[in-house]
Structure 1
Amino acid sequence: MNDLSQPSANRAVILIVDDELSNVEIIYSALGDDYEISFATSGEEALEVARLTQPDLVLLDVVMPGMQGFEVCQKLKEDPLLSDIPVIFTTGLGDTEDEIRGLSLGAIDYVTKPIQPMILRNRVRNHVELKQLRDHLAVLAVTDALTGLHNRRKLDGLLTNAVRAPASDGTWLSIIMIDVDFFKQFNDAYGHETGDRCLHMVASALSRAVRQASGYTARYGGEEFACVLPGTDLDRAMEVAADIRRHVHQLGIPHVGSQVQPYVTISMGVASAVVEADMQPEMWIRTADEQLYLAKGAGRDQIKGRIFGGDSSL
């Protein structure tokens, strides 16, 4: 029942938190056919299991030895990785003040004991469906519809986290700015529908190359893309850029309007630096853009890159 292995991709995960195993068994009997079930018998264990399993919903007992359910709920809501998980309190208290307190801490519902299986199933189903809808909308909000890559909003967040995370100081960070060469001419020659297919194919090539480097890829706008490479110095970032260029060449997408090759090519600018206090994400973007401009000026289908320091002016 308390399977902490990788959850099934097709079933939502429910975490049951109750110090009475008989209550856990009752809830499991009501929900086990439809959901992946994990359980914890204390508040401390609940937080550990929640971080491990990332459940879709928590059924949380109010009264437990040691850490009470209210405190567990509060800690869940204070954790950025767990705060979006809906919490339903299970309680036999029947006290309005306790219900108000739980809801004020961020719980979404109460289920009273003794548990009524049909009522529990319906409430859990409704809240899980709402959670999954919110998750889907959240993904759409940071995904480029054409390519399936991250969009610029998501890229800005990833870059900001890479610069400002507490563990980032003293680590390398690189970004690659990428532009499809003579893309206006491509659209003029083949039409916008074919142009969209071209961008989708280039995005797939970028994703394959950058995934091997444990980086992130986004569509920055139009025919421009960007890659964030945490923990990557300039030498390695230039290798990744060369790999990206090779992948795009291998696509062999015909381009009669190109002035450099008879197929689609890309130009790239690479910026690398050791993260220091007070450095701003814009420094990487600006430096990579400068290098991209140089790559275009050198004839396109080129890679230019440099290391910059924390004293670079914005």
Structure 2
Amino acid sequence: MTERPTILIVDDEISNIEIMNAILEDDYEVCFATSGHQALETARNALPDLILLDILMPGMDGYELCGHLKREAMLADVPVIFTTGLGDTEDEVRGLSLGAIDYVTKPVQPVALRARVGNHIQLKRMRDRLAEMAVTDALTGLSNRRRMEEVLRLETARLARGSDWLSVILLDIDFFKQFNDTYGHPAGDRCITMIAAALNRALRRSSDLSARYGGEEFACILPGTDEAGAMVVAREIGEQVRKLAIPHERSGVAPVVTISMGVATARCLPGMAADLWVREADRQLYLSKAQGRNRINAMAF
């Protein structure tokens, strides 16, 4: 069953929230906030599909809150509809200039509100599908390098708030050129898709990300994972690949396909560049190859 979209209603008047909730609750999951600061926290946790935002609120008003939302990477693409008793064209223009997609006046009309919300939810889902296609590797279904780098940037910023651990694994199929030369490129593609499936089996947490980094190289992002935990995951990846037992007569290290891995781990601190983990994992991967392949090298920095 398709998950119902989530709507965040932000209004300092409980009666307005109750009215809009009654209009929308049959079709959507509805959460609410009565202040700008509460709305920011709720939006970060719920990641709503659409926000209905009142303009006139004490403290942080709707304009200021909309500006905050559009500056946060995880929330910038969430459509915002202003709901207000104001009828001034200048207010409408100001709201739209801040990134809102629509504007409805109160008292809201149930049919109009349902139609506007439904239209914008459909548009958002279409955009989400297109965005997902743009960051998905067509062969394996894993995230592609673009998405991996974006997730890494977001995770380093998020984890830095609590100085939490982050680990990155880079892995490479050993002697893959020889595999392609021996068995052909269609077999090479099947090998890559089987390795991708093995990665997914090894990564058990929904917060972990597996990606095709390029060619026969893959990457894993492990938020909240220290070096010991990352090594457990890396060994499980190696075990899952061994279980595949894909023949590779020109491997040089084994009669079956093997992988080499590099692991990088550090605590995230404000200001740290996200590519530090990739650079260190790549250095460790190079060491694994230089030492004979079919092994893991790791570094905590």
> What range is the shorter-chain TM-score in?
0.7 to 0.9
2:104 corresponds to which of 111, 131, 134? 111
Percent identity reads: 59
Instruction: Quickly say closer, same or farther: Cα 1:209–1:123, change in 2 above 3 A.
Output: same
Moved more, 209-218 or 96-105: 209-218
Q: Is the 8 A contact 1:142 1:153 kept in 2?
A: yes
In structure 2, the partner of 1:55 is: 48
Moved more, 270-279 or 115-124: 270-279
- 2:11 counterpart letter in structure 1: D
Mapping for residues 293-304 of structure 1, pairs under 5 Å:
293-304=286-297
* Deviation per residue, 1:105-130 (Å, 9 max, x gap): 22111112332222222211111112
Moved more, 134-143 or 158-167: 158-167
Q: Is the 8 A contact 2:10 2:52 kept in 1?
A: yes
Task: Give yes or no for the alignment of 1:248 onto 2:241.
Answer: yes
What's the secondary structure of 1:185's corresponding residue?
helix
Task: Give yes or no for the alignment of 1:102 onto 2:95.
Answer: yes
Q: Is the 8 A contact 2:82 2:100 kept in 1?
A: yes
Task: Give yes or no for the alignment of 1:199 onto 2:197.
Answer: no
Number of positions where the alignment pairs a residue of Structure 1 with one of Structure 2: 301
Instruction: Quickly say closer, same or farther: Cα 1:281–1:49, change in 2 above 3 A.
Output: closer
What's the secondary structure of 1:37's corresponding residue?
strand
Q: TM-score scaled to structure 2, two decimals?
A: 0.82
Mapping for residues 140-159 of structure 1, pairs under 5 Å:
140-159=133-152
In structure 2, the partner of 1:312 is: none
In structure 2, the partner of 1:79 is: 72
* Deviation per residue, 1:150-187 (Å, 9 max, x gap): 22223333444566668289766543321112222333
Q: Is the 8 A contact 1:180 1:265 kept in 2?
A: yes
In structure 1, the partner of 2:218 is: 225
Q: CA deviation at 1:34?
A: 1.9
In structure 2, the partner of 1:134 is: 127
Instruction: Quickly say closer, same or farther: Cα 1:98–1:253, change in 2 above 3 A.
Output: same
Q: Name the Cα RMSD after superposition.
A: 3.3
Instruction: Quickly say closer, same or farther: Cα 1:278–1:10, change in 2 above 3 A.
Output: closer
Distance (Å, rounded) in 2 between the aligned partners of 1:297 and 1:50: 47
What's the secondary structure of 1:144's corresponding residue?
coil
Instruction: Quickly say closer, same or farther: Cα 1:25–1:144, change in 2 above 3 A.
Output: same
Instruction: Quickly say closer, same or farther: Cα 1:303–1:22, change in 2 above 3 A.
Output: closer
Q: CA deviation at 1:148?
A: 2.3
Q: Is the 8 A contact 2:56 2:84 kept in 1?
A: yes
Q: Is the 8 A contact 2:159 2:165 kept in 1?
A: no
What's the secondary structure of 2:69's corresponding residue?
helix
Q: Is the 8 A contact 1:213 1:229 kept in 2?
A: no
Q: Is the 8 A contact 1:59 1:87 kept in 2?
A: yes
Q: CA deviation at 1:97?
A: 1.4
Instruction: Quickly say closer, same or farther: Cα 1:270–1:99, change in 2 above 3 A.
Output: closer
* Deviation per residue, 1:234-277 (Å, 9 max, x gap): 55444432222111101222333433323221122334556678
Mapping for residues 1-314 of structure 1, pairs under 5 Å:
10-160=3-153, 167=160, 173-211=166-204, 215-230=208-223, 232-272=225-265, 281-306=274-299
Moved more, 274-283 or 132-141: 274-283
What's the secondary structure of 1:59's corresponding residue?
strand
